[in-house]
Amino acid sequence: MLAALRCVIHRDLLLAVRRRSDVLTVLLFFVIVVSLFPLGVGPDPALLRTIAPGVIWVAALLASMLALPRMFASDHADGTLEQMLLGATPLGMTVAAKVLAHWLVAGLPLVLISPVLALQFDFPQEFLGTLTLSLALGTPVLSLIGAIGAALTLGLRGAGALLSLLVLPLYVPVLIIGAGAAESATSGIGGQAQLLLLAAFLVFTGALAPWAAAIALRISAE
């Protein structure tokens, strides 16, 4: 079974490497959205410092949502998904592997570039670690929850806008806790509580979301 998972991850990563522009678009979207805020609210460093975690988190949320339709769409279009539904590997495991591959492609680059963006906002350097760690724990949760939405809207009219309506409300707790981690770190309380909560979200959604997404995929493929 692990061999099958490795195969799915390897295949999805290979496909992503072959179509590099897809990966870069999401990353550039993230960078551009974050850069819009200083232009919109004004370049006051004190203001930017306070809004930095929130802005970076909201942008990460939007960017990871933008990448969601691709999670199953091409497999659905070329029939690979049906083979996965029929295959011997439990569908939940296959979905978990696909989510992991999707996060490595769409989520991890955002996490890695976020410290640079935070510096543009004059965010205190000693708390960059907390911010990056909160994103590293939070963005996989976004991919996991998003997988359910992507599976439910597979092949529907106007799937993109519908997907945002389904998924964004479910993202809200992650956003509040995630942005709260860096904020309470800068205010001196320390962000450990929020980081632990994010880790709990990750364990909870990691256990249940692939299973729910698998059910949703079976419904969509009927």
Partner 1 sequence: MSGGINWFKYSSPQTFFPLAGKLAFWFGVLALIACAAGLYIGFFAAPTDAQQGEAYRIIFIHVPAAWMSMFLYLVMAFWAGLGLAFNTRLSGMMASALAPTGALFTFLALWTGSLWGKPTWGTWWVWDARLTSELILLFLYFGFMALQAAIDDPRRADKAGAVLALVGVVNIPIIYFSVKWWNTLHQGASVSLTQAPTMAATMFAGMIVMAFGFWFYSIATALMRARCIMLERERASEWVADYAKGSA
8 A C-beta contact, residue 151 and residue 164: no
Minimum CB separation of residue 219 from partner 1 in Å reads 4
When the beta carbons of 18 and 157 are compared against partner 1, the nearer one is: 157
Where along the sequence are the contacts to partner 1 (CB under 8 A)?
Answer: 148, 152-153, 156-159, 162, 165-166, 168-170, 172-173, 176, 212, 215-216, 219-220, 222
- Identify which of residues 107 and 149 has a Cβ nearer to partner 1 in the complex: 149
Distance between CA 104 and CA 187 in Å, rounded?
Answer: 31
CB of 214 to partner 1, least distance (A): 10
99, two tokens: 């989510």
CB of 95 to partner 1, least distance (A): 13
Q: How far is CA 108 from its chain centroid? A: 8
For residue 173, which of 196, 150, 147, 201 has the smallest C-alpha distance? 201
Nearer to partner 1, 110 or 174 (CB): 174
Both tokens of 78, joined, read 């070329």
- The distance of closest approach from Cβ of residue 165 to partner 1 in the complex, given in angstroms and rounded to an integer, is 5
Q: Please identify, using beta-carbon distances, which residue of 41 and 116 lies nearer to partner 1.
A: 41
Number of residues that this document lists for the chain: 222
CA distance 214 to 211: 5
